[in-house]
């Protein structure tokens, strides 16, 4: 039946609706620059949302943990193979997407007999001239590039609200502590703005405050810092740094 264009388009539309509904309850992941690099943060019920991918690349995932892990391993293998066969300077997000997972995701999504990936991915990178870039990858293989930071979320209204705030904020001039606090505030403000706009609609997912988020979930933060002599720029914030951030946000 899928040989008929009408039936195929109908099936594709159904797949879009199905995946978007599954992703809607996931908590957003935000990535922005700061004075000495880039940072990525997100709340989750259990650790496993933000990862180091390569020396200058970090990955954040939203969706089914098994699908996120499968794509993380695929990207990890591709990055190390590219670095081994070519050079570390050839390991870029653009190459990994354009010649790697983006075509695979598109093919997977358009093959109706296969289960679609329940994911959105966020990747951030610092090149060898210390310029940051950010990428948002959709479950159907579509990807976009951003310079000032980006958010992934299963709720398009929330994505738009948070993205607008990111674009209006000069994160690149902030020290790490200020950028972290501001990113957390934008997470909360975006949630509240969307909830206020939908106040007349019945919702089973009220907007959590930052205090509720810290109490309910785990905050993961990954940083790519140019202020280091290490080859690998990535580091995860330690528990004491998370507690310091929590105190700053809730004070």
Local structure of 113: helix, strand or coil: coil
Report all structural domains of the chain as residue ranges with CATH numbers, in order of start: 25-250 (3.60.20.10)
75 vs 69: CA distance, rounded Å: 10
Of 5-19, 89-103, 177-191, 236-250, which gets the smallest average pLDDT?
5-19
């950028």: which residue's tokens? 179
Residue 166 CB neighbour total at 10 angstroms: 22
Q: Can you state the angle between helices 176-197 and 239-250, rounded to 10 degrees?
A: 50
Confidence label for 1 from pLDDT (cuts 50, 70 and 90): very low
């690149």: which residue's tokens? 172
Task: Pick the closest to residue 101 from 132, 154, 48, 139 (CA basis).
Answer: 139
Please tell me the predicted confidence (pLDDT) of residue 230: 87
Would the pLDDT of 25 be above 80? yes
Would the pLDDT of 2 be above 70? no
Catalogue the E-assigned strands of the chain. Answer: 29-34, 37-44, 50-54, 57-63, 119-126, 132-137, 143-146, 150-152, 218-225, 234-236
161 vs 191: CA distance, rounded Å: 8
Confidence label for 10 from pLDDT (cuts 50, 70 and 90): confident
161 vs 56: CA distance, rounded Å: 28
Q: What token pair was written down for 156? A: 């398009």
Q: What token pair was written down for 54? A: 């390569």
192, 206 contact by CB (below 8 A):
no
Longest dimension (CA), the chain: 60
Would the pLDDT of 236 be above 60? yes
Task: Pick the closest to residue 249 from 195, 177, 194 (CA basis).
Answer: 177
Edge-to-edge strand list for the sheet holding 37-44: 150-152, 29-34, 37-44, 218-225, 234-236
Please tell me the predicted confidence (pLDDT) of residue 152: 97
């Amino acid at each position: 039946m899928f040989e008929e264009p009408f039936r195929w388009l109908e099936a594709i539309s159904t797949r879009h609706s199905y995946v978007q509904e599954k992703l809607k309850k996931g908590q957003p992941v935000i990535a922005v620059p700061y004075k000495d690099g880039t940072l990525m943060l997100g709340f989750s019920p259990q650790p496993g949302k933000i990862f180091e991918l390569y020396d200058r690349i970090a990955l954040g995932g939203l969706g089914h943990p098994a699908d996120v892990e499968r794509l993380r391993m695929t990207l990890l293998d591709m990055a190390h193979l590219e670095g081994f066969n070519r050079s570390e300077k050839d390991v870029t997000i653009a190459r990994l997407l354009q010649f790697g997972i983006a075509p695979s995701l598109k093919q997977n999504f358009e093959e109706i007999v296969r289960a679609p990936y329940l994911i959105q991915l966020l990747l951030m990178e610092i090149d060898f001239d210390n310029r940051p870039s950010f990428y948002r990858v959709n479950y159907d293989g579509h990807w976009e590039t951003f310079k000032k930071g980006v958010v992934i979320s299963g709720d398009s209204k929330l994505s738009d609200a948070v993205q607008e705030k990111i674009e209006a904020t000069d994160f690149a001039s902030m020290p790490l502590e200020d950028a972290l606090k501001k990113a957390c505030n934008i997470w909360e403000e975006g949630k509240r703005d969307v909830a206020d706009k939908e106040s007349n609609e019945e919702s089973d997912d009220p907007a959590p405050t930052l205090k509720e988020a810290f109490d309910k979930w785990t905050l993961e933060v990954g940083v790519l810092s140019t202020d280091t002599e290490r080859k690998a720029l990535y580091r995860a914030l330690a528990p004491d740094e998370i507690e310091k951030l929590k105190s700053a946000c809730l004070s």
